[in-house]
Structures are given as C-alpha cells and as structure tokens.
Amino acid sequence: MSELKLNIEGMTCAGCSNSISKVLSTMAGVSSAEVSLENKQAHIVYDAATVSPEELAAAVVDAGFEVVAS
C-alpha cells in the first residue's frame, strides 16, 4: 500500500471534509482516506496498482476543491 498527503484549499466546514473523505473512500484501490479540515489535508492509503495520485487529486478537484502543492 502507498500513502499520499494532499493539501486541499476551499474547505470551510466539517461537511466539506466529510464530502472529500466520502469521494476518496469510494474510489477503487483506496483503503482509507482521512481528511482534516483543521490541517487542510487528506491522508490517503491506496493501492498504487489500482489508482494513481493524479486520479486521487482529480477526484478532489471534481468534488469542487483545490489541491495545492505542499
């Protein structure tokens, strides 16, 4: 399993972080996705053979949030 941390902008409430967590958690290959509103980060554990970091970031963007470089 691989791990990825994404810095996310645009979250304003717990509903935002829950929404991102739900989107990521339902993706094939993702075993866990913890999203912190306070830290503006998502910590994702995933199978690199199934899903790429770019696909994970794209899912966050598609959900209406911005992924920023650390």
In CATH, what class is 2-68?
alpha beta
pLDDT in tens, 8-48: 999 999 999 999 999 999 999 999 999 999 999 999 999 99
pLDDT at 55 over 70: yes
Note the pTM of the prediction, 2 decimals: 0.91
Cα(48)–Cα(36) distance, rounded to whole angstroms?
Answer: 22
User: In which band, very low, low, confident or very high, does the pLDDT at 70 lie, cut at 50, 70 and 90?
Assistant: low
pLDDT at 69 over 90: no
How is the chain split into domains, by residue range?
A: 2-68
